[in-house]
Structure 1
Amino acid sequence: MKLVVNRDSEIPLFLQIEQQLRYLILSGQFAPGTRLPSSRQLAQFLHVNRQTINNALKMLARDGLVEIRQGAGIFVKTRSSQITQPSEALMDLARHTVRQAREMGYSPDDLIAAISLVGNTHDAAPLPPSGRYLVFVECNQPVLESYKNDIEKEVNIKVIPYLLEELREGNPAVQGVIAGAALVVTTFTHLHEVKKLLHNQTVDIVGVTAGPYMDLMLSVSRWPTKAKITVVMVRRHGALEVAQSIIDAGINFEKLVSCGLDDPEYENYIRQAEYLIISRAAYKSVETLLKPEQKVLIYENVLDRASLNMLKNMLAANEHAIKEA
């Protein structure tokens, strides 16, 4: 299988990968039922983050080209016979467009990725005017959507969500959206990295707190110090952050374990625990593993009231400054 990524291209890495896999499937080079390499294998082969691979696979799954079977792998679904032969007029248009792209220094792969990006977004709502939207950055897609919905509902402003991985890729299109934002918002656990990644931006970058943080710390502080504690999140990185927050708060346990659903040993960690902190997003996946005698604390991904009020006040101040200018 020949897959390449161009790190100098303006096309996001996940989209480059998605388009190449799409071509291999639609051209019949991957037959129906073919098992693709795992996201871990693809990430190692291409030297990219696994989240980049997962984003590409999600797009293919959304379009019905692959099926992601939990614990079994990724399999091709679409039959090449389903592809309609394009008309000669459309082929002429394609040839002309490829020639123009090459004259401008772009490869056919760059062009295909750009067309896909435009095609996937042309029906989406247009970006609000500069200064009339927020950008929220988070490492986890379900959590990101939860925070986005919280802010749009409570603060009444459009939120453009980005995964932390998308900032790391340095896509100029993403940087352009960020430049027009009224604020860039992230949780305190990511604030340092987001500021570092966006050091060339002039937009204000602020940190917010998850609502249950203080309640979580208060509850956990009452647990026995000799207890076996396991923190379970969708991704191990998120679990590590919660565990570190517990340590930073001065709450010490003899055995504090962190795991995500992406950890092959997570079932064992859960079974061995006496006390568990489990995110709402991960709970349904692990519910059947829990025992009646285990103490379980559900971690909700919502923003606290003080953070939402702070955002309202900052936006009001920005609005006043714009009117006064």
Structure 2
Amino acid sequence: MLNIDLDRESGVPIYLQIKYRIKEFIKLGIWRKGFKLPPERELADELRVSRNTVSNAYKELEEEGYIFSHQGKGTFVAYQDNIGYQSFDNEKLINIVDKALDEALNSGYSLDEFSVVCHTRIEEKKEIIKNFKIAFIECNNEQLECFLKRIELGEGVTAVTVLLDDFKKNPKSTNEILKNVDIIVTTFTHRDDVKQLLQDKNKEVIGIGLAPPADTLIKISQIPNTKRVGLYCNSHNFAKTVLKSFKQAGIELPNLRTIISKDPKKIELINELDVIITSPENKKEIVELIEGDKEIIEFSFLPDQGSINMLNTTIVLLKKYSRNKH
């Protein structure tokens, strides 16, 4: 019997409650790496929810790298410790350094020798990623801005941004731009489209997973139905993506209105609202437009830690390959 308490009156989607509880089990080490999770149907029966609800929770946990599924064998915990967190884990890094230091001292090297080698290797790693070029391709500018702000490119790495619609309309000129980049990054949703449009079929195209922060979804799910809610975006594409995420999370906002920044009546429309959902990039504009006290909820899609790790590793490997090739 699992200790998963569900609050069916909180307004928080049930699948999110299941997801967070499982995350706690993993973070606390209750469920360690390799632990087999209950089958979806079994857990659904135990919690008296639909199998689809459990499936949604497992799906997001898998996308974030917490668990993995093996066909015919079941679903297992993938990692433990600091998975899924982008915060710097100082203690873990110290343990890694201490282990290497102890091994060096036991092998007869001095502290000064260890320090010199570490410094040299750090400088070599910096050189590896120096002048590396990445292209980010997405269907809307808001998501492109999020890419650049949320992913730490590192020293010497430069980025090019391309709208997917522009790529489709002007494939020749866009391919000319992409000839000079080392790697292309897009979401899993658009990866196949990008690969089809790309002339250089040997160019590396990395798909990354994006999802809105859980606390943002919870906050939105708890907005009373009596409130007049607005979604303020720069493009219809971004609005569609946000609304899709609401639907997947089981969030219903009966009084939701979508407002595009180009709308000449946007000031009037915004000031009719009680709650405004917008991207971090648009928040400053909203603050200047609103009259009176209105709640503003920042909404963005963040790359999961697994995608960030994969991207960083790919950058280093590709740069090494490029240097060896030349």
Give TM-score scaled by structure 2 length.
0.48
The answer to which structure, 1 or 2, has the higher relative contact order (CA under 8 A, 6+ apart) is: 2
